[in-house]
Chains A and B, each alone.
Chain A
Amino acid sequence: MSDTSRQGDWTKPAAMAIPKGGFFEDEVEQGRYGPIFPKTPACYGFSIIAKIIPGREPVFYEYAKNIEKAVAGQPDVLAVLKLHYLRWNLFDIKGETYFQYMGIFDTDFDKYVEDAVGLFAASGLVTVFENLEGFPKDWKTNAPAFIKFVRDHHRPSFLEYGEYPFVSADEIKKALQLKSAFSNMLDQMQ
């Protein structure tokens, strides 16, 4: 994909092929924790895959209820993460259970993880990552260890597609608010 098309035109759905490893060699930017994964038509994102500690599966389902409740109680609880969508799955391969955490968001990968560590530490929310093999026990006070774990377990896409590419969640919400206000105004003119 050319540089120009990577600048973004939300009116045209776009796909981007991504080299193995997740970076475009000719334009790797270094961040604080290593090279920065590029923005794609589906914004920034990750697919973190790790093996769960055997027997911990029920903890993941309980965690889901806690997050649902936390967001229902305070819908902006995750606002700092600049999210579009998050998805958490469990899947089995050859009798072993793996966890996947998939996110689409607007900050870069490392900033997202730093913000998540801060959010979880400050809010008292525990992270379900504690039930993954190899996750650092001192994550609350050691953001670099958390970030290393996440980078080590991130599996970059080799292809991504966005129907309204490169548009941030903030832009989407502002547009929806404008549409809603405009619709209300037209109703009032009847």
Chain B
Amino acid sequence: MSDTSRQGDWTKPAAMAIPKGGFFKDEVKQGRYGPIFPKIPACYGFSCIAKVIPGMEKHLYNNAKVMEKAIADDPTTLAILKAHYLRWVIFTIKGENYLMYQGIFDTDFDTYCEDASVLFGKTGIRATFEALEGWPADYATNPSSIVKFFRDHQWPSFLEYSEHPYVSCEEIKKALQLKSAFSNMLDQMQ
């Protein structure tokens, strides 16, 4: 994909092929924890996969209910993450359970991980990741260990697609608010 098309035009759906490893060699930017994964039509994102500690599967399902309630009680709970969508999946390969944490968001990968670390004490996210093998014991005092864990378990996409490429969550929400306000205004004019 050309550089120009990577600048973004939300009116045209776009797909982007991504080289193995997740970086475009000619334009790798260094961040605080290593090269920064590029922004693509589906914004920033990740697919982190880690093995579930045997016997902890039920704990993950229970914890999902805790998270659901935390967000229902306070819908802004995860606002700092600038996430569009998040998805948590358990899958089994050869009798072993793995967790996949998928995200589509607007901050870069490392910022997302750092921001997530501040939420861990509040929401039950912590309990989810404590069920994974290799989760750093010192995560509460060492945000960089969380970033390292996610980087080590990230499997970059080789292709991504978006129907409204590069548009941030904020822009989408503002547009929806404007549409709603405009709709209300037209109703009032009847």
Contact = CB atoms under 8 A, between A and B. Distances in A.
B114 to A, nearest CB: 19
B71 A15 contact: yes
Interface string B21-51: 0000000000000000000001001010100
Contacts of A15: 64, 67-68, 70-72, 86
B68 to A, nearest CB: 4
A150 interface: no
A42 B75 CA distance: 15
Contact of A94 (B45, B94, B160): B94
Given A102-B102, A159-B88, A88 B160 contact: yes
Interface residues of A, number: 68
A164 B94 contact: no
Q: For the complex, would chain A's binding face be called helix, strand, loop or mixed by DSSP majority?
A: mixed
A93 B165 CA distance: 31
A104 interface: yes
Interface in B70-122: 70-72, 75-79, 83-91, 93-94, 98, 100, 102, 104
Q: Which 3 A-B pairs have the closest CB atoms?
A: A64-B17, A17-B64, A175-B175
Interface of A: 1, 5, 10-20, 42, 45, 47, 49, 60-61, 63-65, 67-68, 70-72, 75-76, 78-79, 83-91, 93-94, 98, 100, 102, 104, 155-164, 167, 169, 171-179, 182
